[in-house]
Amino acid sequence: MGVRLWFTGYETGVMIREPDFGAEANEIYGEALDAIKRAGIRYMLGGAVALNAYTGIWRDTKDLDVLVPKQDVARVLETLQAAGFETEIEDPCWLAKARKGSLFADIIHGNHNAAVFVEESWFANAREAEVLGRWVLVVPIEELILSKIFVAFRDRWDASDVLHLVFATGGDLDWDRIIAGMGEHWEFLLAYLHIYRYVYPSHVHHLPGRILELLRERYEEEAEAVPEESLRFRGTMLDDSSFEMDVKAWGLPDERATNRRARCPEEERD
């Protein structure tokens, strides 16, 4: 795939290789990509494939992540259904699936807490890569970080992926775009930057000083500001299961549910 890393001498190892889902999966996922391409629908690959494109890391994965803007999800599902896949909308706020046998592709247009949505603008910075013998677009690295930063569940935390993306690029990223994408959740980005400093103490120079200073200034300004009158709790923005006790037993507000209601009005309610 021709991954370009800032460092040399570490390219070999059991995890550094091109994507390979296995013979059967390679064929089925190739069929899915070909069908979407024939339909003239633009898409980007994310997840493990995108991580591999930027770092060379490959780990066995069970699914293929296909990212499209929300308005294209229905066309993708219709296309894949015509190609012999069973399709369903698993979560109207961000996720649909296309299955063939035990294999499936995730059709993604956002994330679980409705903080990030796939946008047409992402295509402008998408990277071309060869996957399954086909030239495809993978999600831009900055948006890949945005899509992974909120994967912070009890049984899965993509922090290592985020840190590896920064390390593999030597921090050569559009940090302003990342900050803009985080919006009001910039504090979580600051937390990741501190984790990076802890994990890679010899490579803190990968983090632009102006970005750290900007976020620190924001932190100090908010710390000195008059507290909001309304009660806020953002634990469920990370993992609604882990912080269920806070909402149901301790009476704290469920910001994830509020955010999803505001940004996903078509979601079915109980």
Domains of the chain, earliest start first: 1-139 (3.30.460.40)
pLDDT digits (tens, 9 = 90+) for 51-89: 999 999 998 888 899 999 999 999 999 999 999 999 999
Query: How far from each other are the two terminal CA atoms of the chain, in whole angstroms?
Result: 46
How many other CB atoms are found less than 10 A from the CB of residue 215? 20
d(CA 267, CA 177): 29
Q: Kindly give, in sequence order, each residue whose CB lies less than 8 Å from that of residue 195, ignoring residues fewer than 6 positions away.
A: 159, 163
* Secondary structure of residue 108 in the 3-state scheme: strand
**135: number of Cβ within 10 Å:** 8
**pLDDT attached to residue 8:** 58
For 26-39, b where at least 16 C-beta lie within 10 A, e where not — what string?
A: bebbbbbbebbeeb
Beta strand 127-131 with 63-67: parallel, antiparallel or unpaired? unpaired
Q: What is the pLDDT of residues 130-181, one digit of tens each?
A: 999 999 999 999 999 999 999 999 999 999 999 999 999 999 999 999 999 9
Q: What is the residue whose two structure tokens read 């959740």?
A: 185
- The pLDDT assigned to 3 comes to 57
Cα(154)–Cα(241) distance, integer angstroms? 8
Q: Is residue 237 pLDDT above 90, yes or no? A: yes
pLDDT at position 72 is: 98
Report the length, in residues, of the chain. 270
The pLDDT-based confidence of 6 (bands split at 50, 70, 90) is low
